[in-house]
Amino acid sequence: MAGKWLAATYNKPDFDLFDFNVYALCGEGCLMEGVGSEAASLAGHLKLSNLCWIFDNNNVTIDGHTDITFTEDVVARFKAYGWHVAEVANANDLGQVAAAYTEFLSTDDRPTLIHVRSHIGYGSPEKHDTPAAHGEPLGPDEVRRTKAFLGFDPDKFFVAPDGVRQHFTTHMGQRGADARARWEALFADYAKKHPGEAKQIEQIRDRELPDGWDSDIPEFPPDAKGIATREPPARR
């Protein structure tokens, strides 16, 4: 909602300052919560196309398999809320994952739920698909077996394979730095042409209130009779 408001309030022709998307990771426990249902319902009602939830569905909670407490059709519920739903049948299939994100980016009239089927404790011979993988450590022996399954050296600990750090630095780190530099240059030009709006954005960023923000706050002098809180403001 905040992203949509920022764009509607401050974007100008040739100045798309605010066009970001919001991603959230959630599991079965999250979708059991009432507040999650309320947020999803409101997002569907407001058609927040900049919102994407990734639902990691592994059928396990810390208390046991989900069939003991949670058997609803989550996909049907989100479709009823007015969401677009993209399916990923295998969390390890990066092609499916990429296709789901592409679906989200091409959906401009509603929020998106990416429904991902996964296996908790994947690669662990003894705890794969079990609640034990949710709330307990694997233990040294099971860690060794899991590393062997995934192709890592079981005798090495806290090791990042060659190229991982470089990949993050070159791709994600540099991409983020470049995007930030472009945005700051755009905002500098924006401030020259729209100084009033730019000042408001800076105040929001710096958590400052504008001068005179409290000038219209009404005063309620003490009254022995009192005023009911349900009374409309005009009578207070």
| Residues whose CB is less than 8 angstroms from the CB of residue 79 and which lie 6 or more positions away in sequence, other chains included | 85
In this structure, are 6 and 114 located in the same domain? yes
The one-character DSSP state at 180 is: H
Residue 115 contacts residue 86 (beta carbons within 8 Å): yes
Residue 58 located in a structural domain: yes
What is the C-alpha separation between 75 and 28, in angstroms, rounded? 12
Residue 20 located in a structural domain: yes
Question: What's the pLDDT score for residue 229?
Answer: 76
The total number of residues shown for the chain amounts to: 236
Residue 186, domain extent = 160-207
Residue 153 contacts residue 147 (beta carbons within 8 Å): yes
In this structure, are 101 and 165 located in the same domain? no
Question: What's the pLDDT score for residue 224?
Answer: 79
Question: What's the pLDDT score for residue 233?
Answer: 64
User: Residue 45 sits in a domain of what CATH number?
Assistant: 3.40.50.970
In this structure, are 111 and 177 located in the same domain? no
CA distances from 222 to 187, 218, 225 (A): 48, 13, 9
In this structure, are 185 and 105 located in the same domain? no
Residue 141 located in a structural domain: no
Q: Which of 91, 118, 145 is the last residue of a domain?
A: 118
In this structure, are 42 and 104 located in the same domain? yes
CA distances from 89 to 30, 125, 158 (A): 20, 21, 30
Question: What's the pLDDT score for residue 234?
Answer: 59
Question: What's the pLDDT score for residue 145?
Answer: 96
Q: Domain count of the chain?
A: 2
* Token pair for 134: 């949710």
In this structure, are 15 and 111 located in the same domain? yes
Residue 136 located in a structural domain: no
In this structure, are 14 and 108 located in the same domain? yes
Residue 8 located in a structural domain: yes
Task: Say which amino acid occupies 16.
Answer: D
What is the C-alpha separation between 43 and 216, in angstroms, rounded? 32
Strand order in the sheet with 22-26: 22-26, 51-57, 112-117, 84-88
Residue 36 located in a structural domain: yes
How many helices and strands (H and E) does the chain possess? 10, 6
Residue 129 located in a structural domain: no
What is the C-alpha separation between 126 and 142, in angstroms, rounded? 7
Burial class (CB in 10 A: 0-12, 13-18, 19+), 186: middle
In this structure, are 32 and 106 located in the same domain? yes
Grouped pLDDT means (10 residues each) for the chain, 236 residues: 97 96 96 94 98 97 91 96 98 97 98 97 94 91 95 91 90 93 98 97 96 88 77 62
Residue 153 located in a structural domain: no
In this structure, are 21 and 112 located in the same domain? yes
Question: What's the pLDDT score for residue 235?
Answer: 53
